[in-house]
Structure 1
Amino acid sequence: MTVNSRIPGLKDSTPEQRRALVAERTGLSADEIGVLEPGSGLDVEHADHMIENVIGVMGIPVGIATNFTVDGRDHLVPMATEEPSVVAAASNAARMARAHGGFFTSDSGSVMQAQIQLLDTPDPEGARLRLLEAREEIVASANEQDPMLVKLGGGASDLSVRLVATRTGTHVVAHLVVDVRDAMGANAVNTMAEAIAPRLAEIAGGRSLLRILTNKADLRLVRARAIFDRDLLGGDDVVENIVHASALAESDPYRAATHNKGIMNGITAAVLASGNDTRAVEAGCHSHAVAEDGRYTALSHFEKNTDGHLVGTLEVPMAVGLVGGATKVHPVARTAVKILGVTSASELARIIVSVGLAQNLGACRALAAEGIQRGHMSLHARTIAATAGATTTEMDLVVKRLIDDRTIRVEHAEKVLAEIRGGN
């Protein structure tokens, strides 16, 4: 079904009203949207089948980012995060991009790599060439491990070999290249690596040690770009300031670390909501931020086009899937995927990277315009008011006082709350 991701006033609705609106827009049943109600999502029985030594479950707020148009199609994006302003900033940035068609994406395919580490080879250079000579045999052997993946159009397609100088000598490292289709791919490539390792060791004349995928998924890149409207951003000065801030992040690793954290605020929240592996994605993204000269740099870039609007671009590895893992097991993840309306891992990855770019723009705009604290103030004040014990009916009054007094601390919130209750 066609989804309109523009929902004005969603922030002013109650959680129950928001769930009803999302269900209406996405065609979810009462049972499907109901798993987002506390106590109805992941129960201990399901959790006990997911990890070891389960003692309970821990809730993370799940919000809906609105206004996203990705490659001409609207999406409502579930985001799981505890940090205030993330969902709001992504939604607001998506609104600014919407005026110019939203986000436009591309990817390099669903390709992952397994590494097989070979030790004690007497002639590393010779071993490298012998392994490459046996490429067809090795690829065929790997594909025997997963005929279903091959049937779906995926499977092993290539073998490369690197010589890596280490403090314990030269290691021969074989890379098995595998198209994992709609899976994240860890299980598939690890199984193949385990199966071919003995033959690789025999050919190399040594022994195999590590046999596992690499999370540096630089053959599984996803790219997103968008034009953020100059007037919606706040004018020419804001555009110029964001470009200057981006330039610093590209050149200074101290700024780049925080700049990229802003990107990951969006990416990790969307990855987590969909039940994918946040640690794998984060490792891949941060490894991609290391330039060829070894310097850590910004993952995104912001430039001004000839019309004075801001052009944002982002390219990162994005190893996410729709089959296997928690995506199919966790009831909230299943509902999140249905809200997104995606049918392939590529489509999911493109949306996630678009969210990362939007979140990054939101943070950069706040820094370039009024400063990050002003943007955080209202949401942070709500958190402080809740910590002080404010009820739903008291919340707005306490938040207003905290902001007006410019003192957003728990002890002050407790004092304001006591005054409000004393006045009643």
Structure 2
Amino acid sequence: MTTAADLADRVLSGDLALHELEAHTDADTATKARRILLAQNADADVDVDLSTIGDFSFDAATAESAIENMVGAVQIPVGIAGPLTIDGGALPDGKTHYLPLATTEGALVASVNRGCSAIQAGGGANARVLQSMMTRAPVFCVRDVHEASAVVSWVRDNEDRLAAAAMETTNHGELTELTPYVVGDSVFLRFGYDTKDAMGMNMATIATQAACEVLESETAADLIALSGNLCTDKKPAAINAIEGRGRTVASDVVLTREQVKDRLKTTPEAIEEVNTRKNLIGSAKAGSLGFNAQAANVVAAAFLATGQDAAQVVEGANAITTIDVRDGDLYASVTIASLDVGTVGGGTKLPTQSEALDILGVRGGGDPPGTNADALAELIATGALAGELSLLGALASSNLASAHEQLGR
């Protein structure tokens, strides 16, 4: 019987490649072999102990669609913030929610939890998904601007053909938008899809490839890259802040002056001024695409807990926080322009992430399709709102540093 140590020796000798191990044994043994290899390959004066990385609770085969050359798993502490009551478009009426957050940033969950307390005192938040559209934008090369114009004209006259080709690749997605852009001899097409409960990046990529093949066969355009960065995926981009990507979602709440004083230890006017001078003026001066205090904190922690693509936190930071004093009360909102989330596929299938989605009641496909991912977006946006309220309140009351000191951070 071939052991993990034998396999590690074969990799070290060059007889096997790291990625070939699963072809010679089961996934768990292959994973163990890589840990042995790492320990043997370490410097003589370094004790490489991977026992904790290797101590995970699921079968390694479960993760094969999510990782390559697996050696184990990294455990991140998971806390919960809540309770939260949300009047959402996809969330069930009257249900109390607790938001799981995976983070190593001390005081984050406590901060969000304080914001949740303020929202609950105000009777709960409102939340709605305003748009759902996953994008992919290939770039083509043409001879000159005359040819670019001809390609764009062909696209506008044949959107049905391109949509039909794209939709032959999926039973779940739907092409909802197709916008051409020209820069000299480059033609970009920004495809937008309703991907239901999937985050949909892979679905959009495969569908767009099929549409590109039709375009190339019928026009003079040559496909240069299936992603031309006008999508825009995993990078700060004004087009996502303006046009949206994934879910565009908003959440808001009204708190009385008494509730602000009781829960946030300050006044509506003080929070409004901090938001104006920090989130609006400060962000504008910095040239920021996000006009918020810490939305990415909540997005990142929720993404890690629920199996989302962590790199798309970049887009999730495309959020604007607004604060107004209304007849002495506080109105607060957070609008996230490009929140890329799903409840099926990818990391959502992993056991611990599936459990986190179960906490929220949104694992798997929704009925009707798309409602579970919409509900997850509404929950994350409201969590971000709670985080904004708490941090703005701490800044307005000059309690930020003392809060971190109190929690030993």
| Inter-partner Cα distance in structure 1 for 2:335 and 2:290 | 15
Structure 1 pair 113/42, CA: closer, same or farther in 2 (3 Å)? same
| Inter-partner Cα distance in structure 1 for 2:257 and 2:83 | 17
Letter in 1 for 2:340: A
SS at match of 1:52: coil
1:250 and 1:256 in contact (8 A); partners too = no
| Inter-partner Cα distance in structure 2 for 1:61 and 1:238 | 34
2:293 and 2:392 in contact (8 A); partners too = no
**1:244 maps to which residue?**
273
**1:129 maps to which residue?**
153
2:151 and 2:219 in contact (8 A); partners too = yes
SS at match of 2:407: helix
2:299 and 2:316 in contact (8 A); partners too = no
Percent identical pairs in the alignment equals 25
Structure 1 pair 257/363, CA: closer, same or farther in 2 (3 Å)? farther
TM-score, normalisation: structure 2: 0.73
1:65 and 1:79 in contact (8 A); partners too = yes
Letter in 1 for 2:179: S
Residues 114-139 of structure 1 show CA distances to partners (whole Å, capped at 9, x for unaligned) of 21211124321222111111111111
**1:346 maps to which residue?**
374
| Inter-partner Cα distance in structure 2 for 1:303 and 1:67 | 25
SS at match of 2:74: coil
Is structure 2 residue 408 aligned with structure 1 residue 380? Answer: yes
1:111 and 1:178 in contact (8 A); partners too = yes
Structure 1 pair 230/40, CA: closer, same or farther in 2 (3 Å)? farther
State the Cα distance separating 1:259 from its structure 2 match.
Answer: 6.6
- Structure 1 spans left out of the alignment, 5+ residues: 1-37, 290-298, 382-424
**2:177 maps to which residue?**
158
State the Cα distance separating 1:66 from its structure 2 match.
Answer: 1.4
**1:332 maps to which residue?**
352
Structure 1 pair 93/312, CA: closer, same or farther in 2 (3 Å)? same
Aligned match of 2:325 in 272, 292, 304? 304
| Inter-partner Cα distance in structure 1 for 2:374 and 2:328 | 32
**2:342 maps to which residue?**
321
SS at match of 1:309: strand
Is structure 2 residue 255 aligned with structure 1 residue 228? Answer: yes
| Inter-partner Cα distance in structure 1 for 2:207 and 2:72 | 35
Is structure 2 residue 298 aligned with structure 1 residue 266? Answer: yes
State the Cα distance separating 1:309 from its structure 2 match.
Answer: 2.8
Structure 1 pair 367/283, CA: closer, same or farther in 2 (3 Å)? same
| Inter-partner Cα distance in structure 2 for 1:320 and 1:198 | 28
SS at match of 1:301: strand
Aligned match of 2:186 in 143, 160, 171? 171
Residues 257-297 of structure 1 show CA distances to partners (whole Å, capped at 9, x for unaligned) of 897461111121112111011212x23234x46xxxxxxxx
Structure 1 pair 131/45, CA: closer, same or farther in 2 (3 Å)? closer
Letter in 1 for 2:208: A
| Inter-partner Cα distance in structure 2 for 1:131 and 1:258 | 33
1:79 and 1:269 in contact (8 A); partners too = yes
2:321 and 2:333 in contact (8 A); partners too = yes
**2:394 maps to which residue?**
366
Is structure 2 residue 167 aligned with structure 1 residue 143? Answer: yes
**1:188 maps to which residue?**
203
Aligned pair count? 323
Greater shift in the superposed pair: 101-110 or 210-219: 210-219
| Inter-partner Cα distance in structure 2 for 1:68 and 1:255 | 33
Residues 232-263 of structure 1 show CA distances to partners (whole Å, capped at 9, x for unaligned) of 33279532121111112212234968974611
1:131 and 1:204 in contact (8 A); partners too = no
1:67 and 1:98 in contact (8 A); partners too = yes
Aligned match of 2:96 in 48, 65, 74? 74
1:109 and 1:346 in contact (8 A); partners too = no
Relative to its length, the structure with more helix (as a share) is 1
| Inter-partner Cα distance in structure 1 for 2:404 and 2:289 | 20
Residues 378-406 of structure 1 show CA distances to partners (whole Å, capped at 9, x for unaligned) of 2225xxxxxxxxxxxxxxxxxxxxxxxxx
Q: CA RMSD in A?
A: 2.5
**1:97 maps to which residue?**
119
| Inter-partner Cα distance in structure 2 for 1:305 and 1:255 | 29
| Inter-partner Cα distance in structure 1 for 2:404 and 2:287 | 19
Letter in 2 for 1:340: L
| Inter-partner Cα distance in structure 2 for 1:377 and 1:155 | 50
Letter in 2 for 1:265: N
